[in-house]
Amino acid sequence: MISLLNRTVFNFRLLTLFLPLLSFLIAGAVEWQHIVSSDIDPYPYFGLLTFATIAWSIAIESYGLCTTKYILMSGGNVYAALLATLMTLFAELVIMFFYRATSFSRLFVASSAVVLFFSAVGLRFLLRAAMKGRLLRKSGSVRVLIVGADEFAERTARSLVDREFKGVEIAGFVRLQGQNAKVKGIVCDLDSIGDIVAGNRIDDVVLALPAPRLHELPTILEKVQHFGAPVRAVLDLGDQPPTSDRLLNVNGVWMVNVCHTPTESIMYMIMKRGFDIAFSTAVLLFTAPLMAVIAVAVKLTSPGPVLFAQNRVGFRGNVFKMYKFRTMRTSNTAEGDQRWTSPDDSRRTRVGTLLRRSSLDELPQFFNVLKGDMSVVGPRPERPYFVEKFAVEVPRYRARHYLKVGITGWAQVNGWRGDTSIEKRVEHDLYYLNNWSLLFDLRIVLRTVLHTLNAKHAY
């Protein structure tokens, strides 16, 4: 069953890469008469196809289109296919905007996007149907022997059988020492498992061990690993189920990645860093005249440096210097590091008050982004004193440092900035951590621009 699923995922991944080509061919057929009559050069479309294929490859990885979860999910994750299509379409529009030598057909681009979306959804249903048919033809079903005879084992059996494929048959339960014999379907004890496997067709052996019995795993493996049937282990993780089905092999040590987040993927690193560099460079170039005016205003209205540098805690707890335009009078650094800014803070300068209300004092942080200390979007960096304080008071506070801190974030655009609830901020930061995508970042950036015009917690 698992090998068939792996082959299906591989085939789906391979075929999915050709969907942009298919969408261009169909859209080209629809628009062929227009292209011929308008004497349009077709060669730029090949370049557009290349960029679309690259964007699509990144998108399907980012939104999990080629994962086991996507294949098995009843009804299909149409939303993931839609997001991947929109990301590809956005990449095409960017290319069309900068490449003005050719006037691309808008109907062609729109048609190819529609075809891309429906072909991705359709391909998933076709491969799913083919997989279901193969399971049913393979001697009727896959026979699974479950090692364990308790509530957890029964729950595991129900989950396997209740799949839409209907291709799994429970051959029986193997009772472990001390387990209740009332579970229906017990065929033997662990010591007799060899006779059951030898005398019956067993396709898979599944070890369903609750957390208190995990220490018995080596002993059980000694008895079942030589029967020739694949052996799978089901982990009972209670209220913390794994967010990914990935296994890691580190120097021969097998580990289950039970707290995987989207931010651990290679695609996250490439897309996140690429977006940070492109966006921060554009902002710095666009706002350079404004920053020069602000620098002069800060220098002329109060004594002290133009920029204010302060230690902040970033990715994985690393401390870095974060830059801002100075908005307050120079004072004791240690005191400032352990004190919140208040609406009527007497330390603010007149120019500083305007800068903080408009958030323009944070423009130099885009240099931090270029350096790699920060990202455009992420949890706001905090001072070391408060990090140590909140780590003791707020559960899972340090988990927000699993990713780069940012200039703006999900908590900030939802109103949790400044002297507001730390618990709510952490809640929103962890939501961002577990649901990151490039479109999510773009959404936060857009909302940040809108919220800057009405920033009630900025002072």
pLDDT tens digits for the chain (459 residues)?
A: 445 555 666 777 788 889 999 999 888 887 766 655 556 666 788 888 888 999 888 888 777 777 666 665 555 568 888 888 998 998 888 888 777 666 778 888 889 999 999 998 888 888 777 666 655 455 456 788 888 888 888 888 887 776 555 567 888 888 888 887 677 877 788 888 877 776 777 778 888 888 788 888 888 888 776 666 678 888 766 555 444 445 555 445 555 655 556 666 666 788 888 899 999 999 999 999 999 999 999 998 888 899 999 999 998 788 999 999 998 887 655 545 555 565 566 677 888 888 888 889 999 999 999 999 999 999 999 999 888 888 888 887 888 888 899 999 999 898 887 667 888 999 999 899 888 888 899 999 989 888 775 655 554
Three-class secondary structure of residue 116 per DSSP: helix
- The tokens describing 112, both together, are 């190819």
For domain 139-260, the question of CATH label 3.40.50.720 is answered with yes
pLDDT at 114: 93
Summarize pLDDT for 389-422 with one digit per residue, the tens: 888 888 878 888 888 999 999 998 988 876 678 8
Q: Angle at CA 409, nearest 5°, toward 408 and 413?
A: 90
pLDDT at 459: 44
Sequence-distant (≥ 6) Cβ neighbours of residue 221 within 8 angstroms: 207, 231
Cα(95)–Cα(102) distance, rounded to whole angstroms? 11
Three-class secondary structure of residue 137 per DSSP: helix
Sequence-distant (≥ 6) Cβ neighbours of residue 262 within 8 angstroms: 62, 268, 434, 435, 436, 437
Summarize pLDDT for 283-316 with one digit per residue, the tens: 999 999 999 999 999 998 888 899 999 999 998 7
The reported pTM is: 0.55
- 125 residue type, one letter: F
Cα(310)–Cα(254) distance, rounded to whole angstroms? 42
Is 447:376 a contact under the CB 8 Å cutoff?
no
Cα(254)–Cα(198) distance, rounded to whole angstroms? 29
pLDDT at 242: 46
Q: Angle at CA 429, nearest 5°, toward 423 and 430?
A: 90
Cα(189)–Cα(191) distance, rounded to whole angstroms? 6
pLDDT at 370: 94
Is 264:248 a contact under the CB 8 Å cutoff?
no
**Domain spans of the chain?**
2-136, 139-260, 266-452
Sequence-distant (≥ 6) Cβ neighbours of residue 52 within 8 angstroms: 20, 24, 88, 91, 92, 112
Cα(366)–Cα(238) distance, rounded to whole angstroms? 42
DSSP-assigned letter for residue 418: S
Q: List own/partner pairs for 61-68 with CB under 8 A and 24 or more apart.
A: 61/265, 61/267, 62/87, 62/262, 62/265, 62/267, 62/268, 62/271, 62/437, 62/438, 63/87, 63/437, 65/16, 65/120, 66/9, 66/12, 66/13, 66/16, 67/9, 68/5, 68/9, 68/245
- The tokens describing 134, both together, are 């193969």
Task: Tell me whether residue 223 is exposed, middle or buried, using C-beta atoms within 10 angstroms of its C-beta: 0 to 12, 13 to 18, 19 or more.
Answer: middle
- What does the H/E/C string look like for 314-356? CHHHCEEEEEEECCECCCCHHHHHCCCCCCCCCCECHHHHHHH
- The tokens describing 12, both together, are 């789906």
Q: For strands 168-175 and 186-189, give the pairing.
A: parallel
For residue 48, what are the β-bridge partners? none
